[in-house]
Amino acid sequence: MSLVGAARKPLVSGLDPLPGKANYFIGKHPAKWRTNVPTYAKVHYRGIYPGIDLVYFGNQRQLEYDFVVAPGADPKRIVLGFKGADKLEIDAQGELVLHAAGGAIRQHKPVIYQKMDGVRTEIEGGYVLKGAKRVGFKLAAYDRSRPLVIDPVLAYSTYLGGSNDDRGRGIAVDTAGNAYVTGETLSINFPTTPRALQTSFAGGFYDAFVTKLNPTGSALVYSTYLGGSSSERGIGIAVDANGNAYVTGVGGSANFPTTPGAFQPVHSGAGDAFVTKLNPKGSALVYSTFLGGSDYDSGFGIAVDTAGNAYVTGPTSSGNFPTTAGAFQTTISSSQNAFVAKLNATGSALVYSTYLGGMDRDHGEGIAVDAAGNAYVTGVGNSANFPTTPGAFQTIAGGAGDAFVTKLNPRGSALVYSTFLGGSDYDSGFGIAVDTAGNAYVTGPTSSGNFPTTAGAFQTTISSSQNAFVAKLNATGSALVYSTYLGGMDRDHGEGIAVDAAGNAYVTGVGNSANFPTTPGAFQTIAGGAGDAFVTKLNPRGSALVYSTFLGGNWDDYALGIAVDASGSAYVTGATSSTNFPTTAGAFQTSVGAGICDPFARIPCEDGFVTKLDSTGSALVYSTYLGASGRELGYGIAVDKVGSAYVAGWTNSTDFPTTAGAFQPVSGGGTDAFVSKLDPTGSVLVYSSYLGGSGNDGSPSSIGIAVDAVGNAYVTGATGSSDFPTTPGAFQTGFGGGTCFFGLPCNDAFVAKIGDVALPLLSAAALSAQSTTTRSEESAATDSGPWTTYGAEVGTFSGGTIVASNVAASTAAFSFTGSAVSWIGVKCNVCGIATVSIDGGAPITVDTAGPGVPGSLTSESVFFASGLAPDVSHTMTITVTGTSSSGGAHVAVDAFDVTS
């Protein structure tokens, strides 16, 4: 390949210095030797064409290059010439195919984009033939006042974890390409971000985590533990249009973080499901609630509609699991049934809640929702009398356990359809998605040689004792559009599924077969270890693979959740024990953080991972670990409209990566759920928080997450914590309790909503009800510099006095012990800027200007709030720094509110 008409001697320089140095001892003349030669990650060719640079860099198994077009430069000047090719053509997928005597060589369709206000905007374009052996680029309209990047391969893959086991279980993606991952972690050093909800492991065996990666996978937007002092596991995650992450899973901690007013703020059993909604910064809970009765309950799958209602499914063994009047099935039929619950947008009440099952053990695994509010549920039906509907595809069970697909009406009062899906052996539905026409797409494992398949499907016969399956049901549930096996000669199974606007199905799971079907040109066509994750894209007819690839390294790797964005990029999360799991340069975490979990067998601990594959399946957009020194597992993932990824799972790491200001920066104990939001590049945690109490939360069951249009995250799972964090007014604020197997406490399900608020802004009444208020004139609060005291006659929340200063560098300090603190002050039309720091940490800027005047209770505001390590002495320092847009500089302090 050559650059036609390019500058003969462009300026060449290195970019991004690497720590290593090179030495060249060539020949026997020391004068020709070169030592201590610097090395670089990238090579920059400046001005290859007027205003156009070329940057080369290595990315895992391939060399990548970017053309960087300066504002005003003409990208049409770029022409690639190819010698030795007999013929050039551009195929239907936009790939450049070079035909030569030895076969065909492919270059993938380029990704073309601009960055605007830190957000990457894709520009439509591709290759164009310029002659027999020359190629250029065609572009749609773009902003010529900004730089443009033409990237033939753009991808990422990254570890996500600490020094112990970490697992990603769920993943979602927003429209900007941010990936949201959830799972569980045992690592006390799981990567979290400043100001995240919960930045420290809460204790117990696992904590859940929620992590948001930016679109390139190079940084955490946020990352947070989510858990209490027992164990939590994040299993499912979803994201709304505004970047709120919704996480579900299982929590065993009584002190799992719930919110005032939530449906069920108190733990009810050994393990409860939980549903947690995190705001787009991962710094606060919009809501968080348990969902369960006196026995074991867990949230496995979560979805969210445009109104912000969260839909949750999982298994329950509680005869007193909360149901609603008029729901389809209000009593349990066996020792375990599935449940389907719909929470309102505030997380304070159930819209509906129903059991779903028969006389044997049935459980829900995955859930999706359509635009009309119908819920689609899949799982395992072991009951011969599992509820089915007349005219459904398969009304009689085929074997010992079958998958099921059930569609509930928007009120949860009746089945639109319900069908088995299986053969004579064991089959299970793990993942489900729905398209705009109401077709349902399902995946899972099957051991049935007579599993129902369709003529012309990709693979109509089973290849081993267990293969994955992918099935598409029509909108009435009466017939299969297609159904296919997917697997090789060993045991393979599907875990998650997503669908794009064109009807292509994206499937992920575990491929143990060396001959698992892959496609030429895919990212990884050969298995890296004993078991690898796989990512497969099926065409809308189910007749052919668009692409199929392994994803793994030298140990065990498995994927549990998948999401797809508008451009067809697939986002995958799971767990890996591989030290050489494929990651990408610049990704958030490029090396495994976990240690050795079995010192005798030398078996490595697991880290979570987050991987973004390009639309061709040939390259990683980003891939990152997500974990710390313990074990983590991401269960659920969702993505919002800007590409942020919301992840929910569980962790037992006390050092799981959380962000400053996160709702719960410290592990509650045991295993905790976690909720993390990654920015669209996959390189930054927007927020990351634990979600749990003193018991086990999130572990060992699945956690689901969904996100609504305004960025609230909805999480569900199971918790064993009687102190799981709930909110006043929530549907069920008390733990169901009870004793399960071997005398162990039972779990409750939980549902939590984590919302679009940077900090937990609480009303004065709410603050007064749940915490202790210290007035500014009390001894624990001190000030330095000129402060003026205003009497109680001005009307304060605290009932005491207010101190105010407009002199820069004046400080007010407050010493306390507690798990959270808030600064209550007054907005006014002459108020200005302050900074707040906790324990000498990085200062956070606060603008106190507003339309109010001192003395008006309506002007009282919570200017800052943060979760902290409990039972430790802390100091909050407020510093007056300058004027605001109001032109004023006054900063007022009324009181400090502390949660014990």
Give the tens place of pLDDT for each residue, 532-585. 999 999 999 999 999 999 998 888 888 989 999 877 889 998 888 888 888 877
Identify the bridge partners of residue 111 per DSSP, sorted by sequence position: 151
Average pLDDT for residues 308-327, to the nearest whole number?
Answer: 96
Identify the bridge partners of residue 506 per DSSP, sorted by sequence position: 498, 537
- Among the listed ranges 250-254, 759-763, 815-819, which one has the minimum average pLDDT value? 759-763
Identify the bridge partners of residue 623 per DSSP, sorted by sequence position: 157, 611
Q: Which two tokens stand for residue 532?
A: 């690898």
Average pLDDT for residues 153-173, to the nearest whole number?
Answer: 75
> At 176, is the pLDDT very low, low, confident or very high (cuts 50, 70, 90)?
confident
Q: Give 796-812 pLDDT, tens digit per residue.
A: 555 667 888 888 889 99
The two beta strands, 645-651 and 179-186, are parallel
Residue 155: what pLDDT? Answer: 42
Residue 598: what pLDDT? Answer: 56
User: What's the whole-model pTM score?
Assistant: 0.60
Cα–Cα distance measured from residue 554 to residue 753, given in angstroms and rounded to the nearest whole number: 38
Residue 376: what pLDDT? Answer: 98
Q: Which of the two residues, 841 and 332, has the higher pLDDT score?
A: 332
Give the count of beta carbons closer than 10 Å to the beta carbon of residue 106. Answer: 15
Between the alpha carbon of residue 585 and those of residues 13, 122, 130, 152, 623, the distances in Å are: 19, 21, 33, 16, 9
Residue 853: what pLDDT? Answer: 53
> At 475, is the pLDDT very low, low, confident or very high (cuts 50, 70, 90)?
very high
Average pLDDT for residues 300-317, to the nearest whole number?
Answer: 95
> At 845, is the pLDDT very low, low, confident or very high (cuts 50, 70, 90)?
confident
Cα–Cα distance measured from residue 265 to residue 271, given in angstroms and rounded to the nearest whole number: 14
Residue 152: what pLDDT? Answer: 62
Average pLDDT for residues 335-341, to the nearest whole number?
Answer: 95
Residue 768: what pLDDT? Answer: 31
Identify the bridge partners of residue 835 per DSSP, sorted by sequence position: 845, 879
Q: Which of the two residues, 218 and 771, has the higher pLDDT score?
A: 218
> At 742, is the pLDDT very low, low, confident or very high (cuts 50, 70, 90)?
very low
Per-residue pLDDT at 816 exceeds 70: yes
Q: Give 405-440 pLDDT, tens digit per residue.
A: 999 999 999 999 999 999 999 999 999 999 999 999
Residue 118: what pLDDT? Answer: 57
Residue 111: what pLDDT? Answer: 79
Average pLDDT for residues 751-770, to the nearest whole number?
Answer: 42
Cα–Cα distance measured from residue 130 to residue 654, given in angstroms and rounded to the nearest whole number: 58
Spatial CB neighbours of 678, under 8 Å, sequence gap ≥ 6? 178, 179, 180, 181, 211, 212, 213, 214, 217, 220, 221, 222, 223, 588, 610, 624, 644, 645, 647, 684, 685, 686
Q: Which of the two residues, 103 and 670, has the higher pLDDT score?
A: 670
Cα–Cα distance measured from residue 829 to residue 749, given in angstroms and rounded to the nearest whole number: 47
Domains of the chain as residue ranges with CATH: 2-151 (no CATH), 156-754 (2.130.10.10), 765-899 (2.60.120.260)
- Among the listed ranges 10-19, 115-124, 544-553, 685-694, which one has the minimum average pLDDT value? 115-124
Residue 415: what pLDDT? Answer: 97
Please give the share of the chain, as a percent, with pLDDT higher than 70.
86
